[in-house]
Structure 1
Amino acid sequence: MRLLVVEDDPLLLDGLTVGLGLAGFAVDAVASCEDAFAALDTQSYDGVVLDLMLPDGSGLDVLSSLRGRGDATPVLLLTARDQIPDRIAGLDAGADDYVGKPFDLDELAARVRAAVRRGKGRPSATLAWAGVTLDPASQTVARNGELVNLTRREFALLAALMERPASILSKPALEETIYGWQEEVESNAVEVHIHKLRSKLGAGFIRTVRGVGYRLTEAKACDPSD
């Protein structure tokens, strides 16, 4: 799940990048309206964490631009606790939620997950397919009720596939989902992660569509005991 975080305080921005990364998100971090506009013009995101007070304008300008072009990407605002008019203006402008500063990072991650889940029309917090369940909140995966240990990248790639089990996801699409732009991506990273997931979840759980990408095998055709 890829996020854009817009915050001009360098210490807070670094903390958000690291903390949300540990919570399972791939984070692109910028510190101004200008850079936020550039990022949103060139990249699709699952969600945006947006500070209101930026050095070259207001986060509301970024939000208004996003909604004005019909982009429904979930947006969570960061506001000072006493800025009630700003919170109201943000929600009325199309924000999905807000968190007051200072905030708890775990709560922020939970609110982002909830906003993204609502945006995708998915009522359940957990994902399930062919005997495998994935819980984004606890970052745990179970196969036939038994926990499976995954790395952060493996978890993120599996989540991307399980969120769209009927879709074929290309290698570039998966790379964009699990890596932020500040992170170096090795040419065979996706193939390595797919191989390791198959060894842990069953060889038939993930199907390669030659020349196109990867998708989950249809649940009825996938033997979870494989």
Structure 2
Amino acid sequence: MENPNGKVEFKEVSFTYDPDVELIKNLSIDVKAGETVAIVGQTGAGKSTLINLLMRFYELDNGTIEIDGIESTAYTRDSLRKNFGMVLQDTWLFDGSVKENIRYGKPKATEEEIVAAAKSAYAHSFIERLPKGYDTKLGNKGISLSTGQQQLLTIARVMLADPPMLILDEATSSVDTLTEVRIQTAFLKMMEDRTSFVIAHRLSTIREADVILVMDKGAVVEVGNHDTLMQKKGFYYRLHESQFK
């Protein structure tokens, strides 16, 4: 896969981990290039399952997922995954310097590019306060960062890689309010003009999504935008009301 536009289409997709338990059945979604798809639901609803299928960590039972009109199975897994930038709830940093961790997204990046990515991710200011700045070692032989700081570094890594499509898990329950605002702002900046799949935990962050998939017990129970789903007064409406009451 080279330079995709980012049009993603699920066509009659069915999948289950257990043949005796119906999960995703005949799901069809047409995501235009640059659109944002939010996936919402209570814990354990199956939000990550759609991401696993999109990234081909599991293969479909039936149906197809197409990117730019070509079935995802026609692409190599490696090239498919390189075209998605992923920021997940469980951040991954390795033993090495801050600079090396950010550069992982683009091994030949210059110092200027690394700093620019960190500034875009609102990570530059805390990096500057570290003992050796960008050369500060992390992990077992270095310092430990807070959960929020780790998240900002992984955002900087993705911004440096500049992928055409994004998968974001916007879980920020374990960070302070200021860091949460910075993470949300960095997410919005990163999502501009990119096809984005957002696993949403706080419904206030996804009101402007083009498509919202509402999941319950592994199944997609509603599809629409915020306004149409609120008017239905169904599962999304009840989820929304429970959060904001």
- TM-score in terms of structure 1 length: 0.29
Structure number with greater CO (CA < 8 Å, separation at least 6) is 2
- TM-score in terms of structure 2 length: 0.27
